[in-house]
């Protein structure tokens, strides 16, 4: 178990290194010149050249990369070429917003998805299943931004249940914080919820038709116990795998959702940085996203060994 984890950690480090190369080169392949963007349209070539020298853009790519890597490893992500603010400061203010939003969305998706999946299995061929299926298909087909706009229109402006935009720090006012995040989290989580619902339903149907469930019923166990401990527990093995693969989509979904609800998060930072060719910020943003991806996958792997005892004890047989 510990060995498995260490091996996965090692793989993650390699993944991050490769990612850093791709990020570094990718950013430099973007059309446009940061020196030109900083100097403005009217600048003289001398001024642009001076800025280039100042930013180290005249060095070879390898030197620039090693310089970049060294800085990252020492925790220095550089400064925004646009505002001069340290990138770490920018991340510090925006990352929590996105993390809270994603976490909230995951919780919503897992709770709603699994509950609807179980309901759909319990009432196969009857109206609750049709309803759950229809809901899943709808939320998979409707794009986030459209759902977000509808939600703002009806629930915020029409009914006034939630604030339409903005963000309040958790420490400042927990209730306002929750209210501001609820709608974005619901919008962001629906797609994932739909995937989880469909997977739960399919796995539940398989598990409930299995021999061990039949035997559990023959032993006279209470229905709820059979459904949850025998049916759902075994379905989770598949659900966790599929859900883990989908979590990446959540990060890109967050960019769009933050835009709609005007949340001062990571997504907004990313967009602004791309538009202004703010190399240090873009690099940092992509690097942090990659790190998030790797960590999520690591967490899924760990969770997978928890839900699947056959992996936990390494397939040792008696």
Where do contacts with another protein occur on this chain (CB under 8 A)? 209-212, 214-222, 225, 229-230, 233-234, 237, 307-310, 313-318
Residue 205 CB, nearest approach to another protein (Å)? 12
Query: Which of 226, 224, 152, 222 has the alpha carbon at shortest distance from 186?
Result: 152
Query: Which of 72, 20, 260 has the alpha carbon at shortest distance from 148?
Result: 260
Residue 132, H or E segment: helix 127-141
Residue 3 CB, nearest approach to another protein (Å)? 8
In the complex with another protein, the residue whose CB is nearer, 41 or 211, is 211
In the complex with another protein, the residue whose CB is nearer, 236 or 260, is 236
Residue 204 CB, nearest approach to another protein (Å)? 14
Q: 180 near 166, Cβ under 8 Å?
A: yes
Residue 226 CB, nearest approach to another protein (Å)? 9
Residue 301 CB, nearest approach to another protein (Å)? 17
Residue 317 CB, nearest approach to another protein (Å)? 6
In the complex with another protein, the residue whose CB is nearer, 99 or 221, is 221
Report DSSP letters for 15-52, one per residue: HHHHHHHHHHHHHHHSSS-HHHHHH-TT--HHHHHHHH
In the complex with another protein, the residue whose CB is nearer, 135 or 237, is 237
> Reduced to 3 states, what is the DSSP secondary structure of residue 125?
coil
Q: How far is Cα 178 from Cα 166, in angstroms, rounded to an integer?
A: 12
For tokens 């709770």, the residue is: 111
Residue 105, H or E segment: helix 87-122
In the complex with another protein, the residue whose CB is nearer, 126 or 233, is 233
In the complex with another protein, the residue whose CB is nearer, 71 or 308, is 308
Tokens at 87, concatenated: 């990138």
């Amino acid at each position: 178990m510990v060995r498995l984890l260490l091996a996965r950690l090692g793989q993650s480090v390699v993944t991050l290194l490769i990612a850093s190369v791709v990020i570094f080169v990718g950013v430099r392949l973007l059309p446009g010149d940061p020196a030109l963007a900083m100097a403005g349209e009217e600048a003289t070539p001398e001024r642009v050249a001076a800025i280039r020298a100042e930013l180290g853009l005249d060095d070879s790519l390898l030197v620039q990369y090693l310089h970049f890597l060294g800085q990252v490893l020492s925790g220095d992500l550089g400064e925004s070429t646009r505002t001069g603010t340290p990138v770490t400061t920018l991340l510090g203010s925006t990352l929590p917003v996105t993390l809270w939003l994603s976490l909230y969305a995951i919780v919503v998706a897992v709770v709603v998805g699994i509950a609807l999946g179980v309901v759909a299995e319990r009432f196969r061929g009857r109206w609750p299943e049709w309803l759950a299926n229809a809901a899943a298909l709808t939320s998979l087909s409707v794009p986030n931004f459209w759902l977000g706009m509808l939600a703002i229109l009806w629930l915020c402006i029409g009914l006034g249940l939630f604030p339409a935009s903005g963000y309040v720090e958790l420490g400042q006012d927990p209730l306002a914080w929750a209210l501001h995040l609820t709608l974005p989290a619901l919008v962001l989580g629906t797609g994932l919820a739909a995937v989880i619902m469909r997977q739960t339903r399919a796995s539940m149907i398989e598990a409930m038709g299995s021999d061990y469930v039949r035997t559990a019923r023959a032993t006279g166990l209470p229905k709820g116990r059979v459904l949850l401990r025998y049916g759902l527990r075994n379905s989770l093995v598949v659900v966790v795998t599929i859900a883990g693969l989908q979590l990446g989509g959540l990060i890109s979904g967050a960019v769009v959702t933050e835009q709609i609800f005007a949340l001062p998060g990571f997504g907004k930072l990313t967009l602004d940085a791309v538009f202004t060719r703010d190399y240090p910020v873009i690099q940092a943003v992509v690097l942090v996203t990659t790190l998030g991806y790797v960590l999520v996958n690591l967490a899924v792997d760990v969770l997978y060994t928890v839900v699947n005892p056959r992996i936990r004890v390494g397939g040792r047989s008696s």
